């Protein structure tokens, strides 16, 4: 009589990932480790033996969102492990949700895995144990065609409004050959766009004295410009050059060296620079590592070298002590800088931040009024810049493809080189070919624009 061996049911893990792209990469790495231990991933609460909530603790509003997500996971599943930036506030989490099984801090991969093993022991057996060990790039929480590439952890700055160094520690750069190896694997697996992230991309390698490692038979320094140049050499299996987009770039002098790489086509002509403000007095109170000195001159020089460059930034309004003159200085600076993409945030006191002790807090009503004014200025600038693109042809990467309408026409959503996923605008396309695929690069004739987005048709369609 033939007998068969019944495999034990795989334990399943659910994941709720909150916060920034750096936290998303942490979530991918945790899930990859767990899958290597024989766990399966659950797409919903009901099917999970345990749920992980990767929290954000940067602002009080983010902490509230994290606590709400933990509460929802407890209500829907009941077996919850908390990790991430808010994990350092275990007492606050347990005060709100005493049912939580375990709490770990940011990028504590081993502790998270141990907690899952304790509360949902992995299925054991010779068949399960023979599951191949996947690489770090195997589990992705983003679409297949773009990937976040984290090059370092932590930060060496002590900005008055920020507690990131307390949550994630000092700068810890990855080996440059390890970063390039991961990037190469991602591109080989279908990534068409690499989004380089860290807390301070410009500082990459400072902590390891820009050590050299061998890569493709030649030495490469752990330095932003060297890394960017090597990433620009990658090719997809189809021979295309993936977009390489730099985020969280502080405007140190050596940033000038990456602009020619954009002009040469090795890097996507896009820089995400967290200016935060422009008024010198506010920047001093913020304890920012760079001020506005000569930034406008550098922006002009960058545009002369690479006319297509798009500059994105974010600004804080209502920082303690910000006067009306300070705010007007910021508005005037924005008019001159003509940034392509801008996000604004109302200042929020964060427990543990130095800014909480500063005098002259700005009333909430004034914060709201200034936020509205800065958004009006930046939307007007954006609308004018996008209007100039009408009638031009631009490269676009396809993110989503819709279903045919009643007439059989198919629409699609993509992004230009000036648009990072989820934070910038989009390019909406009409009448796309039926064989168009997610991740395809196409040339688009721009037909219309508004304050944030472009509209057009694929060239030749």
Which residues share a beta bridge with 80?
A: 51
Q: Per DSSP, what are the bridge partners of residue 315?
A: 276, 344
Q: Which of 291, 292, 250, 257 is nearest to 273 (CA)?
A: 250
Q: How far apart are the first and last CA of the chain?
A: 64
Which residue is associated with the tokens 């995400």? 272
CB count within 10 Å of CB 235 equals 12
Per DSSP, 356 falls in state: G
Find out whether 162 is annotated in a ligand binding site.
Answer: yes
Neighbouring residues of 32: CB distance < 8 A, sequence distance ≥ 6: 134, 135, 136, 138, 139
Q: Residue 283 in contact with residue 251, Cβ under 8 Å?
A: no
Instruction: Tell me the C-alpha distance between 194 and 401, whole Å.
Output: 21
Is 306 annotated to bind a ligand? Reply is no
What whole-number distance in Å separates Cα of residue 23 and Cα of residue 167?
A: 12
Give CA–CA dist 243/332, Å, rounded.
33
CB 41 within 8 A of CB 32: no
DSSP string, 50-83: EEEEEE--SSHHHHHHHHHHHHHHHHHTS-EEEE
- From CA 207, how far away is CA 220, in angstroms rounded? 16
Asked if 155 and 85 touch (Cβ cutoff 8 Å), the reply is: no
Please state, in angstroms and rounded to a whole number, the distance separating the CA atoms of residues 457 and 276: 36
- Tally Cβ neighbours within 10 Å of residue 289: 17
What element of type H or E holds 415? strand 412-416
Alpha-carbon 444 to chain mean position? 26
Closest of 336, 249, 343, 246 to residue 299, by C-alpha: 336
List, as residue ranges, the binding site for [4Fe-4S] cluster: 20, 56, 85, 155, 159, 162
List, as residue ranges, the binding site: 20, 56, 85, 155, 159, 162
């Amino acid at each position: 009589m033939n007998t068969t061996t019944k495999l034990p049911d795989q334990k399943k893990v659910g994941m709720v990932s909150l916060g920034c792209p750096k936290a998303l990469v942490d979530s991918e790495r945790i899930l990859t480790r767990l899958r290597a231990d024989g766990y399966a991933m659950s797409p919903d609460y009901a099917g999970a033996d345990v749920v992980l909530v990767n929290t954000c603790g940067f602002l009080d509003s983010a902490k509230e969102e994290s606590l709400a997500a933990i509460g929802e996971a407890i209500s829907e599943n009941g077996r919850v492990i908390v990790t991430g930036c808010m994990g350092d506030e275990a007492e606050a989490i347990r005060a709100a949700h005493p049912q939580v099984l375990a709490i770990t801090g940011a990028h504590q991969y081993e502790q998270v895995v141990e907690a899952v093993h304790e509360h949902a022991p992995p299925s054991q057996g010779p068949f399960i144990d023979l599951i191949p060990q996947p690489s770090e790039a195997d589990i992705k929480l983003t679409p297949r065609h773009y990937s976040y590439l984290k090059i370092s952890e932590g930060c060496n700055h002590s900005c008055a409004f920020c507690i990131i160094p307390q949550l994630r520690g000092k700068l810890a750069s990855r080996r440059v050959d390890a970063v390039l190896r991961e990037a190469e694997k991602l591109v080989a697996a279908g990534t068409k766009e690499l989004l380089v992230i860290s807390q301070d991309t410009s500082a990459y390698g400072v902590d390891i004295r820009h050590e050299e490692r061998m890569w493709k038979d030649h030495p490469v320094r752990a330095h932003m410009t060297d890394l960017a140049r090597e990433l620009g050499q990658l090719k997809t299996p189809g021979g295309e050059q993936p977009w390489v987009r730099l985020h969280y770039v502080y405007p140190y002098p050596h940033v000038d060296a990456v602009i020619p790489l954009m002009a040469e086509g090795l890097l996507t002509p896009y820089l995400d620079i967290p200016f935060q403000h422009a008024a010198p007095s506010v920047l001093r109170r913020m304890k920012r590592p760079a001020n506005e000195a000569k930034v406008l001159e550098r922006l002009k020089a960058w545009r002369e070298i690479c006319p297509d460059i798009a500059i994105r930034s974010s600004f804080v309004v209502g920082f303690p002590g910000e006067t009306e003159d300070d705010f007007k200085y910021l508005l005037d600076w924005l008019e001159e800088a003509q940034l392509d993409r801008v996000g604004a945030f109302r200042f929020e006191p964060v427990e543990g931040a130095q800014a909480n002790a500063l005098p002259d807090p700005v009333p909430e009503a004034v914060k709201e009024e200034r936020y509205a004014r800065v958004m009006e200025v930046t939307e007007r600038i954006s609308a004018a810049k996008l209007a100039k693109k009408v009638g031009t042809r631009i490269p676009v990467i396809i993110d989503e493809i819709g279903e045919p309408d009643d007439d059989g026409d198919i629409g699609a959503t993509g992004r230009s080189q000036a648009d990072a996923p989820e934070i910038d605008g989009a390019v909406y396309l009409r009448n796309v070919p039926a064989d168009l695929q997610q991740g395809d690069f196409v040339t688009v004739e721009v037909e219309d624009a508004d304050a944030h987005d472009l509209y057009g048709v694929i060239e030749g369609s």
